[in-house]
Amino acid sequence: MKLGIPHFGNVSVSIKAIAQQLGATDSLIIPPPMTQKTLNLGVKYSPYEACLPYKLTLGSLIETCELGANTLAQARGSGICRLGYYAKNQEQILRDLGYSAKFLTIDISHNKLISVLRLIKNLANDASWYEISSAFFFGISKLFALDKIEKVVQEIRAVELEKGTANKIYHEAIRNIDEATKRKEVKDITKEYIERLNHVEKNNKAHPLKVGIVGEIYVVIEPFANMDIEEELGKLGVEVERTMTLSRWVKYSLFLNYLGADEWRKVHHLAKPYIDHDVGGDGWESVGEKILFAHKGFDGIVHLAPFTCMPEIVAQNVMPSTREDIPVLAVICDEQQGKQGLLTRLEAFVDLLEFRRRKNGRRIYNTR
Amino acid sequence: MSKVGIPRALLYYQYYPVWRSFFEHLGAEVVTSPPTNRTILTAGISRAVADTCLPVKVFLGHTMSLIGKCDYIFIPSMTSFGKKTYNCSKIIGLPNITRAVLPECPIILDPNIDLEKGRWYFYHQIYKLASRFTSNSVKMKKAIDVAWQKQLAYRKKMSDEKITSNQALFDLYGSSHSASSQKNPQGNLTIALLGHPYITNDEYLNHRIIYHLQNMGANVLTSEMAPQTAIDAAATRAVGETHWAFEPDIIGAGQYYTEMKVDGIITLSAFGCGPDSMMIVWVEHRAKETKTPFLPLSLDEHSSGGAMLTRLEAFLDMIKRKGTKLPTPTPAYC
């Protein structure tokens, strides 16, 4: 078996680690990093009205198929947006293209943990459950480490004197963590890089603007899909925060939610006056997070959504009516977007935030 | 007597009889917005976020035309109609969108119809809705029973008589529901028109496509004209487990009509429709396999009737010429 996975944030780092631990590196094909070619492939073979995550994952899967993958992993589920349909549709498209790949689907609406473990079991040629679970924990420890470093990077980017230093260190950290083979090593690398990041020369007087990033999970997490929006905001001297990370998804969706924790309890509660039940995808969370960020005293919100994303359109319609009037920049991601256009909008948005801060000072909402 | 407004858009075409009879049995008066027109469309477009799809914009326009004419507006959140089948996010969040975009709207009645959550949740939602009008639970029960029978009869009427929702509503409620298309025309071609009932029946949005097709000598079959059980089964045959509530209407009807060997398939969707973007690919694939002529049409606020007519004519000409042998073209130069 040769398993191919679509590119999504740092998922490939963790899957690669799992395969290495189980001695199944040969049966895993790491997707090449996303480039314009990936997008072009995806756009060419997708239905024209499909959303950006569909096109990007399809492009990524075609690339892994070209590298010889014969089994592909993709998400599936009900009660969510189009995502539930991706696997069915992409399988047909790949078959028409002449790739005879089988799909292994991960059910992300119901039995999440079981289907993830089943995927690993398939990858590992029936290794014992003990080996699988230890490899799995090692794999996700890399995700947690990377997200921990990224959080520091998001802070440093805004205040570093020489722009781009934090980013360089972050990419080096990804490489090093990718190569680590023991949990201890991962821990040491994380510590080392956080230390290095904290020692980057920075402007200590700066009091950076804070912007929260909300929206659809794929375009929020995958930097290629949102044209490195976090990095660009960092260059403009803005500190970025996002709640949606892969490690959070793993932590809650795969473990804590089964134990009765509710990942989005507070966010849903805040969104209640405007949306009182799930609308699929991340629409409900986007509205709640906007309010949460406003309460935390953020200066603005960037709302990322793929073009024609149904849940995010609901969120976009509802957002202006919330009581907390915090500026929201809606960025619609699709294959037609150009980076310069985005940069101009970001600059204008940052100017607006600065002006607002000078005028109002920091406004903190009553959280009650 | 309190007045309940029902906007003539989206799920109206599928569920109007059940809603109307339910409210009438509870002693309320039902007010319906007029058929879609330019004013309604522009009003809707002016309020919603640009990316919102055309049917939702039209829905908002209809709701605006009801403001001031009723005490309540009925906008249910139709989440799920069965195990693991859900509606589009925009339909689930419809009361929320309306409340946010039209703050001047009267009280919105928004029961959450989510059969995935079980029977008791459903009963509770209906009870909450009905208790605004009466406290007599026997009356409520009776209203629900009568309404549901009405709905079943309505669905059966459409599939038995092979008529569209518009025609069935005209038969049931008369004048305000007129349809330009005729019943059971005797054309020499059979065309399946696949799309959501709220697009195939809204004659302003679809530029009277059924009427024009009939004028060109085609019998038009829509998803309402097939028995519900048949299209449900066809959808399961085509894709296995269904995922969306309208899958039978598009994929199911597509499968059903290709098996019936219709002469051509036309799909009608709104630009930016999420479910359609995935489902129409299936129908197209199926049409390719069975070599059925296929024409996908997409509507938005800028589409014009003239351009559509040209495409329909060309499509029907192509079907008519299919099979007849054309003379071999003489080379331009020898």
Calculate the alpha carbon distances from A107 to A110, A111, A118, B83 in Å: 6, 6, 11, 16
In-domain check, residue B24: yes
In-domain check, residue B308: yes
**B51 contacts in chain A (CB < 8 Å):** 307-308, 313, 316, 332
Yes or no, beta carbons of B89 and A321 under 8 Å apart = no
In-domain check, residue B278: yes
| pLDDT band at residue A368 under the 50/70/90 scheme | very low
Mean pLDDT over B324-328 rounds to: 66
Planar angle of CA B32, B37, B39, nearest 5 degrees: 100
**B280 contacts in chain A (CB < 8 Å):** 47
What's A2's DSSP letter?
A: -
In-domain check, residue B328: no
Among B30, B286, B230, smallest CA distance to A96 is for: B286
**A276 contacts in chain B (CB < 8 Å):** 96, 112
Quick: pLDDT tens for B120-161: 998 899 999 998 888 888 888 899 999 999 999 999 999 898
Considering the domain architecture, whether residues B135 and B283 belong to the same structural domain is answered as no
Nearest by CB to B52, from A51, A274, A317: name it. A317
Considering the domain architecture, whether residues B176 and B120 belong to the same structural domain is answered as no
Considering the domain architecture, whether residues B28 and B88 belong to the same structural domain is answered as yes
Considering the domain architecture, whether residues B166 and B141 belong to the same structural domain is answered as no
Q: What is the pLDDT of residue A367?
A: 43
**B52 contacts in chain A (CB < 8 Å):** 313, 317
Q: Quote the ipTM score.
A: 0.88
Tokens 């980017």 sit at which residue? A157
Domain end (from B157, B176, B195): B157
How many DSSP H helices and E strands does chain A contain?
15, 8
In-domain check, residue B329: no
User: Which residues pair with residue B31 across a beta bridge?
Assistant: B5
Calculate the alpha carbon distances from A298 to A155, A182, A295, A301, A365 in Å: 14, 38, 7, 8, 10
Considering the domain architecture, whether residues B191 and B279 belong to the same structural domain is answered as yes
Tokens of A361: 């000072």
Quick: pLDDT tens for A150-206: 999 999 999 999 888 999 999 999 999 999 888 899 999 999 999 999 998 988 888
Q: What is the pLDDT of residue A305?
A: 92
Nearest by CB to B277, from A47, A281, A283: name it. A47
Task: Answer for the pair B235, B210: CB distance below 8 angstroms, yes or no.
Answer: no
Quick: pLDDT tens for A13-65: 998 999 888 888 888 888 888 999 999 999 999 988 888 999 999 999 999 99
Considering the domain architecture, whether residues B90 and B136 belong to the same structural domain is answered as yes
Among A347, A286, A361, A353, smallest CA distance to A326 is for: A353
Considering the domain architecture, whether residues B77 and B48 belong to the same structural domain is answered as yes
Give the whole-angstrom CA distance, residue A53 versus residue A306.
7
Give the whole-angstrom CA distance, residue B299 versus residue B322.
27
Among the four given CATH numbers 3.40.50.1820, 2.60.40.420, 3.40.50.2000, 3.40.50.11890, the one describing domain A208-368: 3.40.50.11890
Domain end (from B103, B122, B157): B157
Among A312, A264, A319, A311, smallest CA distance to A290 is for: A319
Domain end (from B131, B157, B183): B157
CATH of residue B254's domain is: 3.40.50.11900
Give the whole-angstrom CA distance, residue B188 versus residue B263.
10
User: Which residues pair with residue A3 across a beta bridge?
Assistant: A28, A71
Tokens of A260: 């009765």
| pLDDT band at residue A265 under the 50/70/90 scheme | confident
Give the whole-angstrom CA distance, residue B48 versus residue A149.
40
Quick: pLDDT tens for B46-60: 999 888 989 999 999
- Domain of residue B112 covers 3-157
Considering the domain architecture, whether residues B237 and B209 belong to the same structural domain is answered as yes
Give the whole-angstrom CA distance, residue B73 versus residue B78.
15
Task: Answer for the pair A293, A320: CB distance below 8 angstroms, yes or no.
Answer: no
Yes or no, beta carbons of B48 and A321 under 8 Å apart = no
Planar angle of CA A164, A186, A196, nearest 5 degrees: 35
| pLDDT band at residue A342 under the 50/70/90 scheme | very high
In-domain check, residue B193: yes
Mean pLDDT over B37-41 rounds to: 92
What's A202's DSSP letter?
A: B
Considering the domain architecture, whether residues B72 and B201 belong to the same structural domain is answered as no
CATH of residue B31's domain is: 3.40.50.11890
Q: What is the pLDDT of residue A334?
A: 87
Quick: pLDDT tens for A83-132: 888 888 898 899 999 988 888 888 887 778 888 888 888 888 777 888 88
Nearest chain A residue to B92, by CA: A279
In-domain check, residue B333: no
Yes or no, beta carbons of A314 and B101 under 8 Å apart = no
Nearest chain B residue to A271, by CA: B96
Give the whole-angstrom CA distance, residue A200 versus residue A223.
23
Among A77, A74, A11, A62, smallest CA distance to A222 is for: A11
Considering the domain architecture, whether residues B105 and B238 belong to the same structural domain is answered as no
**Nearest CA-CA distance, residue B168 and chain A, Å:** 31
CATH class of A3-127: alpha beta
Quick: pLDDT tens for A284-331: 999 999 999 999 989 999 999 999 889 999 999 999 998 888 999 999
Those of residues 24-53 in B touching chain A at CB distance below 8 A are 48-49, 51-53
**Does residue A249 register a pLDDT over 90?**
no
**Nearest CA-CA distance, residue B115 and chain A, Å:** 12
Among A117, A116, A175, smallest CA distance to A146 is for: A175
A299: amino acid identity, one letter? D
* Helix H or strand E encompassing B285: helix B274-290
**Nearest CA-CA distance, residue B46 and chain A, Å:** 12
**Nearest CA-CA distance, residue B277 and chain A, Å:** 5
In-domain check, residue B330: no
Q: What is the pLDDT of residue A119?
A: 83
Considering the domain architecture, whether residues B177 and B256 belong to the same structural domain is answered as yes
Q: What is the pLDDT of residue B30?
A: 92
Q: How many CB pairs under 8 A join A and B?
A: 108
Yes or no, beta carbons of B92 and A50 under 8 Å apart = no
Give the whole-angstrom CA distance, residue A329 versus residue B204.
34
- More confident of the two residues B83 and A348: A348
| pLDDT band at residue A143 under the 50/70/90 scheme | very high
Query: How many domains are contained in chain B?
Result: 2
Tokens of A365: 């909402």
- On average, the pLDDT of chain B sits at 88
Yes or no, beta carbons of A85 and B278 under 8 Å apart = yes
Tokens of A353: 């935030």
Tokens of B242: 């269904």
Considering the domain architecture, whether residues B209 and B68 belong to the same structural domain is answered as no
Q: DSSP letters along B23-38, please?
A: HHHTT-EEEEPPPP-H
Give the whole-angstrom CA distance, residue B139 versus residue B117.
25
Mean pLDDT over A252-272 rounds to: 84
